[in-house]
Structure 1
């Protein structure tokens, strides 16, 4: 789940809250090694107090999960935010990617979350994936709000708000990375892409999992999940429930048309209504219209990979067949080349015989005395009867 890209991802619906970490202003308390601010009306403080209070009594908080393996409310926001709190405490901001984070830091995050919530090992992948996103979002907040002063000059010390989380050496590495030209280029590309998304998500911080939960509650039915093209459409409407983007409108019209003549039960999931309307394959690491926490293997199953392997096998067979055809064609061309040489030799022989015949005819035509035989002209054969008579005469003489 963790992205292999640098930490330039912009804020998203599951991004960390800027106020989840208590500001360090001297008015703090310490619970189990975690700094908690005593200021009122702070969402981060409320979340921290709930979790720490439960731990102090030896209790774990419960989390509900939907059929797709995503946490849902009540409890999702608290769960995700607390993962962010713990991640910012355990993982330094100096790491540019989640892959670079040592395993020990990741395990520290998992152990803290596992000791605070009723979750089993099957949720570890989701927890660490969320931690990756939360850390990336935290770095984005730091870059946008705390990296430079009002005059645009880089601030050389960690912001006072996060002084209890960020060491000076980590801050130095953090700002050093942001001075790099390649970082600036990539960051600007991501910023421009985020300013003009093809299909802008319009539900703010409401995740697809929460949106699905709301829609199911409104219908009052016994269903536990919705088709993803319905979720995709609901995630791209404005506050009035209207579609005000041409690209989204085009996709939804196609979804609506397909839903009238297309049975999703008969088609594989990877070729459902939304896939056909968007006219594109799923990129690695996510499934469109479902939100974070649902992988392609989880949703489509292993059949997709099997189909992929099958397609590769078909391509290999086609290449082998074409290779055999090319070899046969080359053999045929070689045979034809050999036949061509024979024909050329025969043509040359016929040509030479014709030339010789022409020479003979030419000499006969140029001889004025017909009684003089040409040395090249063969003598006429004697009649058969004359040869028989001479043979008889020789036999009589021999008897005498």
Structure 2
């Protein structure tokens, strides 16, 4: 069973506050300036109050660590109803993909239909179904199809009829969510307890590359809340006018050492790359998205994220217009599909970019307003220079103290590296 140690909760066994922290009751800040009334803004005000009483000798990063360590994740605003959706383990993969797509969510917990009513959360759930896992399954089916054709010749991933045949097959309709549990990243999943701190949550979403974090009630054996990257981006956007945040928010990206990755190390694909190869690349590099560039390799013409694998399974019109599905054709078909169905999507907004001279608060506001988790950095000529993710931003705000997590990860075992994205 998951054991969140005291080191990851900022408390010693005797209940003393974390080093540099303040043992204060969980209450709203008495200061409620006009315009700061949202639940996320109130969290920012709590940080502000804690910030003001930190020891002067602490660095800004140490102060913020201590502030976030003093706030439990039970204070985080509840997720919208769409994130409360759970998928039964005996649901078909086709139905599960439809559920994720219609509700515009990246993932959902999978509950074990065979678990007893009084099961603990760790026995009640078998994992979290993500589009990343679905991509792994889809790539595997493509590899099998290619092998069955001639062993190593024509690549099935190049041909639209592979996808068309797959989604119309009994095999796809009869594949259950539990049948692809080998693609789940954790067994069952990494969860927070209500008393765990914001610092724990932020470190897991950044350094430990979690996409979302369920908050569990051990007594009830159920999920109380789900904290997503988008929700954290919105929380930060609501805090940009607060004093503690402006220590970072007003700085230029270049002054903060962003982007972290050098241009020659950036993972990117050209327009003519087969789209399934793009998803394969994301799987191999364990990244959530890649820029699509023109023939010069410098100008960004689009972005493909791991969640876009849904369109290969839910938008068959793509195959009618493009038999060879390259990254360029895929993006064109997805935009047409979204426009026809009047759906909102970052794909319809063009490529979202920034420059090194932009400030951190500029980037956070863009991430929040555009509902994205990454933004591409370009120079004055529009040439691609790098990428900044929400994880990069969080890593500039907080850091992991030595030995912080202790045995936090015991009892929730990650699956082999080749099974996850």
Whether the TM-score (by the shorter chain) exceeds 0.5 is: no
Given the two structures, how large is their TM-score scaled by the length of structure 2? 0.20
Looking at secondary structure, tell me which structure has more strand per residue: 2
Which protein is bigger by CA-based radius of gyration? 1
